[in-house]
Structure 1
Amino acid sequence: MSGNLRPTRAEATDVANAVLDGTDAILLGAETFRGLYPFQTISIVGKICAEAEKVYNQAIYFKKTMKYGNEPTSHLESIATTAVSAAIKVKASVIVVFTATGQTARLIAKYRPTMPVLSVVIPRLTTNQLRWSFTGAFQARQTLVVRGVFPMLADPRHPEESINATNESVLKIALDHGKATGLIKPHDRIVVCQQIGSSAVVKIIELED
């Protein structure tokens, strides 16, 4: 589409097959670098991806991934599969996952759930003996390229509240963020992956309003 408004059959097929093959993102080169219609190209590619997602059979993909996965599975892998399976069964609108490195969000996204994944990155205070700094912004940006993951950074001023399971303030902020972005609507069911002490918990929340 470097010089044409309409994509060729081969170009449209390549984009659709990339989605059906499980690609997280599509990188455009000449079409946006020196093409005549960069904005129109992005719009058309987005429409093709949306149509391909409609015919993507997530149930078959999930079963195949579970069948041919390595056994025994790791702790995080088990949490990810449990969260996706629960979200599918209760028809959740979104999966909220608390993470420090983004790994749990990536594992959940690996199973390509039909609902979006709201990744709440918990900041950590680190030091190199010369200065103190918060980590988390880089980890949140890294997950932007993962399909279906919408990252948000928890408040770095209160990292202990983010980790403390008895404090639901961070979860409330995450739900409010989901409502503001249109991911969450009243009376939706939400699957939450949260660490309580040394244990990881998957819970289901049904919103009232």
Structure 2
Amino acid sequence: MSRTEEESETTGRPRTYRDVPVVGIGGPVGSGKTSLIQRLVPYLQTGDRQLGLIANDILTQEDATVLKEAFAGEIPDDLVQGVETGACPHTGIREDPTMNLDKVTEYAQAYPDLDLVLLESGGDNLAATFNPELADYFIYVISVAEGDDIPRKRGPGVVDCDLLVINKTDLAPHVGADLDVMERDTEEVRGGRPYVLTDCKDETGIEAVAEYVEREVLFA
């Protein structure tokens, strides 16, 4: 039981979003955010650990539907839901995260033993970041297919996230991307902050991402 859970039980107050850690997962359209979540969940949902998933989209439930189908029978249906922002995705995760905060609170009250929420942003640009009131830990996902110059463009998402994921490394030879260049530029712009190279198809790097989440969020 976390300190916030103990405090809520002691005071008798209803649980809120403050009582459940949230990992925000952002990145451009097609970078592989949903696929990353699909691969991460089996590593994180160990023992009796309970996870909730939230997928943000502008006007649809598309990503939430994908996750519901992927974890049918493993995660309760009402713990896999979509938030339709109705505006640019960063609005719902940065400027006014109210809808997402309300959804996390809904989860927290319905499931007192909830351990973690993975919250996916809708596809956004390199400037997208999470409001610190919403996400306790921020993972930003970029795709090798977007070009090996993405890290040195120094977008706030790339530079400021807690963990940068450079995804779809298997595509590097097919799109003319140099992984050595991407790593070099990443190390320069992030100043020693962590990053992981991943390929969701064969799960390369996924365990390393899960270890960061466990160490920095679940066991922090």
When the two structures are superposed, what TM-score results if normalisation uses the length of structure 2? 0.34
Larger radius of gyration: 1
* Bigger relative contact order, structure 1 or 2 (CA pairs below 8 A, ≥6 apart): 2
